[in-house]
Structure 1
């Protein structure tokens, strides 16, 4: 596991918030050894265009959002083991 640190800044470049995330080292895995396939579900561009055209035709209001926790509690097909980082309290 690894800590990622980031400072959020305002227009004057003053730090307004500190953020940290503890992530697993998925970047250290090798395809064919640690995993066979990877997926990144995205919408087809044609489907998005069709949706926007339909919304414009019907005068719908369209909102955009980003969901960051979509697969947070998704079922796992196999067990995952994680080591606690050195010095973690």
Structure 2
């Protein structure tokens, strides 16, 4: 299992940060502008992906970065739930 994780992290390290940022902004905008439950589901799916990424990078992040990431993730989930309701 350790070998699989290192391969995944190596692949993530090679991804262009600008492309990831623009793709994430596009997904957030789709989630915000899509009506009702569809938009909320898109935002929750994005939050699930971010939780997986946060789980992988947690040990190497400083405490201040962890707090900021948790706050942003909480905000994203809150917006998704408001959109669904």
What range is the shorter-chain TM-score in?
Answer: under 0.3
Structure (1 or 2) with the greater strand fraction: 1
Q: Which has the larger radius of gyration?
A: 1
TM-score normalised by length of structure 2: 0.24
TM-score normalised by length of structure 1: 0.24
Structure (1 or 2) with the greater helix fraction: 2
